[in-house]
Structure 1
């Protein structure tokens, strides 16, 4: 089936000497993987490797067999050029981390327009922002709503948050109940918009501890979830 759709690049893996295996989240068909032959060596081919930088927004025409195998990409063009995501050192490190998080979290090969719109808007906003130190915390927390395990905000005044159940509770019921600083940050981010989160004052330790808590939350709710290898790079950048 021939599909014309918007797509966001999630990963691009070199295969052999000249090929790329590109994983993209598409508006029409969810997660798809494409084999691009000779793209790394051919100067006259219809694709350029630069088109497939992480989180790049594309419009593509592709042939989808929808059998869970590698698909065939016929055309691709960049439809939104970022000003700073791939040139700013801090932002490019975040791009690497967030792309890997998406690769490890999104599994469905089906359309989810709301998720696509969230990703599209988030990365354009990140490109515009001056301070992105808290962006990934906000993004990962908001992403849970589209993945099916958004924290229940109906009892936010309770003294514990149960990572296993995704609920605020008045007593500690298991070893996955958090309190203290992480609980306060969770409340703040849940009730803030992206503009307010930019100005949230967190030190290096608080930011790292909260991110580790979020990663555990993902691990508890996504079968087979793996912590991103780029986490160490991100920690170095924010050090």
Structure 2
């Protein structure tokens, strides 16, 4: 059966000589894996560009009840990205977001509220006004809410974790900053040192690791470190 839906690309891998298998988080159908044939041939470079991480698509797909690979009938850009593909920092953050989401949800998992949040994240990350340094932190806090394991307050984020990398002074600063992020989200204007911000990011990823099944190492964290985030 053909169905229309919106989708956010999470990842893709090569398949045989000219095809790819792409994982797309769709609004109505949940997380699906699609086989896309012939996109790696010389004349189809524009088509493979549709399947870069965090690309937002309008889709017509074949939807089968069985699990496994599905097929895409039509795929079009919902909104071309203006900054993310051409800015190393934004691209790095996009890869971080896709890794976190990929490790947080499973095949056929559907959550329209989470999808709408991710759509907003893409729009914010692609805007000039966003503060990039705090973006991964805000994303982790908000994303945990939609996944259902976020504490009610900043103190909970700090106490419900095995790692405590903060000094006594840093702990209070971290709690105040997290509280501001939880209140103001991406619009927050509070500033802290890069060292403390990085410790908070490590801490929140450890928090995630305790709530996810076998998340493994966070590979994109190294990219963020190289970008001084």
User: Do they fold alike, i.e. is TM over 0.5?
Assistant: yes
Query: What is aligned with 1:163?
Result: 160
Query: What is aligned with 2:197?
Result: 207
Do the aligned residues in 1 keep the contact of 2:157 with 2:204 (CA within 8 Å)? no
- 3-state secondary structure, aligned to 2:142: helix
Query: Does residue 152 of structure 2 align to residue 115 of structure 1?
Result: no
Once residues 207 and 113 of structure 1 are traced to their aligned partners in structure 2, the CA distance between those partners, rounded to angstroms, is 30
Query: Does residue 11 of structure 2 align to residue 14 of structure 1?
Result: no
- 3-state secondary structure, aligned to 1:98: helix
Cα deviation for residue 107 of structure 1 reads: 1.7
- 3-state secondary structure, aligned to 2:32: strand
Closer, same or farther: CA 108–21 of 1 in aligned 2, 3 Å: closer
Cα deviation for residue 15 of structure 1 reads: 2.3
For residues 86-125 of structure 1, the C-alpha deviation after alignment (integer angstroms, 9 at most, x for no partner) is 1111101111111111111122514322111111111101
- 3-state secondary structure, aligned to 1:28: coil
Do the aligned residues in 1 keep the contact of 2:140 with 2:204 (CA within 8 Å)? yes
Structure 2 residue ranges without an equivalent (≥5)? none
- 3-state secondary structure, aligned to 2:4: strand
Once residues 200 and 68 of structure 1 are traced to their aligned partners in structure 2, the CA distance between those partners, rounded to angstroms, is 45
Query: What are the within-5 Å matches in structure 2 for residues 127-142 of structure 1?
Result: 127-130=126-129, 131-142=131-142
Once residues 176 and 207 of structure 1 are traced to their aligned partners in structure 2, the CA distance between those partners, rounded to angstroms, is 15
Query: What is aligned with 1:235?
Result: 225
Closer, same or farther: CA 206–69 of 1 in aligned 2, 3 Å: same
Query: What are the within-5 Å matches in structure 2 for residues 210-229 of structure 1?
Result: 210-229=200-219
User: Which structure has the highest helix share of the two?
Assistant: 2
Closer, same or farther: CA 74–185 of 1 in aligned 2, 3 Å: same
Cα deviation for residue 143 of structure 1 reads: 0.5
**Aligned-CA RMSD value:** 2.3
Once residues 156 and 215 of structure 2 are traced to their aligned partners in structure 1, the CA distance between those partners, rounded to angstroms, is 28
Once residues 115 and 218 of structure 1 are traced to their aligned partners in structure 2, the CA distance between those partners, rounded to angstroms, is 16
Query: What are the within-5 Å matches in structure 2 for residues 38-57 of structure 1?
Result: 38-41=38-41, 43=43, 48-57=47-56
Structure 1 residue ranges without an equivalent (≥5)? 165-174
Do the aligned residues in 2 keep the contact of 1:9 with 1:55 (CA within 8 Å)? yes
Query: What is aligned with 1:168?
Result: none
Once residues 214 and 110 of structure 1 are traced to their aligned partners in structure 2, the CA distance between those partners, rounded to angstroms, is 23
Query: What is aligned with 1:149?
Result: 149
For residues 191-238 of structure 1, the C-alpha deviation after alignment (integer angstroms, 9 at most, x for no partner) is 223112xx3312221121101111111111111223331211111111
- 3-state secondary structure, aligned to 1:223: coil
More moved, 187-196 vs 71-80: 187-196
More moved, 99-108 vs 76-85: 99-108
